[in-house]
């Protein structure tokens, strides 16, 4: 299967922290984190520019005033290929606060002639927050436990005509699979051990010859587990993650360090802020 060449982002004009649906969104005293809007816009622009420089074309959805988490475009859809065309499974967001986001992505898909699928199983599913492609081996890993119900994967397997390897998430800090697993090529992934139950972690060890364990502080504070591989060679990652970055360089990857600190305050970083599609 080929690596996607296109990226979907959403403009951060309305990005903010207005509620807390994961532990990262609050400070030590339990107050909602405050976003520096100007800084957030600059950081988003650098990320967009980085994708451009890496040869990806970027589509941008306009911000929607009442939807402060819309900027995390990994979550509302799950793209897959059928007959060489991008098809889109629409998410059902776990939190009411985010449910309206999906309509805008559905509209975007229709305008771009992509077929959309609405699953019927009872339960939520948060797109590529929880279901991750290994584009090189053509496999899908499905995280469940916080935002996605395991039951939904039975139906998704039918839709995409492929088995989904299920991984149980056990730590609130790693509420989406993309916060604790980053697949960078066929046999290499970065992982946060604390995010998984033992069976799931042991399974990952059988799937990747290079399974790099990210230390907990880089996983929680630097969102290193949310790094984004775009073509098997280049990795985009939050700066100040010395261990993960040096491991990636040792393995021969081209590492692009950027700053997503404003988005980490909401529980997301590079991987969350984009959707790849073909
Ligand atoms: N505040 C957002 C939420 O809790 C962050 C989403 C981050 N996205 C991700 N793919 N992990 O839903």
Residues 179-227: pLDDT tens digits?
Answer: 999 999 999 999 999 999 999 999 999 999 999 999 999 999 999 999 9
Residue 1 has pLDDT above 90, yes or no: no
Residue 60 in this model has a pLDDT that exceeds 90: yes
Residue 64 Cα, ligand 1 centroid: separation in angstroms?
16
Helix intervals (H) in 67-133: 96-99, 101-111
Q: Note whether 225 and 214 are within 8 A (CB).
A: yes
Is the pLDDT at 171 greater than 90? The verdict is yes
Ligand 1: centre distance to CA 176 (Å): 8
pLDDT at 198 (0 to 100) = 98
Alpha-carbon distance 60 to 63, whole Å? 9
The pLDDT, as a whole number, for residue 183 is: 98
pLDDT digits (tens, 9 = 90+) for 30-49: 999 999 999 999 999 999 99
Domains of the chain: 6-277 (3.75.10.10)
For the CA of 127, the closest atom of ligand 1 is 10
Q: How far apart are CA 104 and CA 117, in angstroms?
A: 14
| 114 has a pLDDT exceeding 90 | yes
Which residue has the CA at smallest separation from atom 6 of ligand 1? 268
CA atoms within 13 A on the CB side of 168: 7
* 257: enclosing H helix or E strand: strand 254-258
For residue 65, the model assigns a pLDDT of 95
Residue 30: which region, alpha, beta or left (left: phi > 0; alpha: psi -120 to 50)? Answer: left
What is the atom index within ligand 1 of the atom nearest the CA of 25? Answer: 1
For residue range 179-189, list pLDDT tens digits in order: 999 999 999 99
CB 165 within 8 A of CB 207: yes
* Residues facing residue 26 across a β-bridge: 32
Q: How many CB atoms lie within 10 A of CB 211?
A: 17
Q: What per-residue confidence (pLDDT) applies to 93? A: 98
CA of 227 to the centre of ligand 1 (A): 14
Cα 83 to ligand 1 centroid, rounded to whole Å:
31
261 phi, psi to nearest 5 deg: -55, -35
Integer Cα distance of 138 and 116 in angstroms: 20
Model confidence band, residue 175 (pLDDT cutoffs 50, 70, 90): very high
Structure tokens at 24: 């990262």
Pocket lining for ligand 1, CB < 6 angstroms: 21-22, 25, 69, 72, 74-75, 98, 129, 176, 178-179, 266-268, 272
């Amino acid at each position: 299967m080929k690596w996607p060449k296109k990226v979907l982002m959403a403009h951060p004009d309305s990005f903010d922290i207005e509620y807390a649906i994961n532990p990262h969104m609050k400070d030590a005293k339990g107050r909602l984190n405050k976003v520096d809007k100007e800084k957030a816009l600059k950081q988003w622009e650098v990320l967009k520019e980085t994708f451009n420089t890496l040869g990806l074309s970027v589509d941008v959805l306009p911000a929607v005033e009442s939807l402060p988490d819309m900027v995390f475009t990994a979550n509302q859809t799950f793209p897959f290929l059928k007959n060489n065309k991008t098809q889109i499974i629409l998410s059902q967001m776990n939190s009411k606060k985010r449910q309206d986001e999906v309509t805008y992505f559905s509209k975007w898909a229709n305008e771009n002639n992509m077929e959309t699928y609405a699953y019927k199983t009872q339960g939520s599913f948060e797109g590529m927050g929880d279901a991750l492609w290994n584009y090189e081996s053509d496999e899908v890993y499905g995280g469940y436990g916080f935002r996605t119900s395991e039951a939904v994967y039975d139906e998704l397997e039918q839709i995409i005509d492929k088995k989904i390897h299920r991984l149980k998430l056990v730590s609130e800090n790693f509420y989406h699979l993309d916060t604790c697993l980053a697949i960078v090529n066929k046999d290499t992934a970065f992982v946060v051990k604390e995010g998984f139950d033992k069976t799931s972690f042991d399974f990952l060890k059988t799937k990747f010859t290079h399974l790099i364990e990210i230390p907990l502080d880089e996983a929680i504070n630097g969102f290193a587990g949310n790094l984004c591989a775009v073509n098997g060679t280049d990795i985009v990652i939050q700066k100040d993650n010395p261990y993960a970055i040096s491991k990636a360089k040792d393995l021969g990857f081209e590492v692009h360090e950027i700053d997503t600190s404003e988005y980490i305050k909401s529980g997301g970083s590079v991987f969350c802020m984009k959707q790849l599609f073909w």
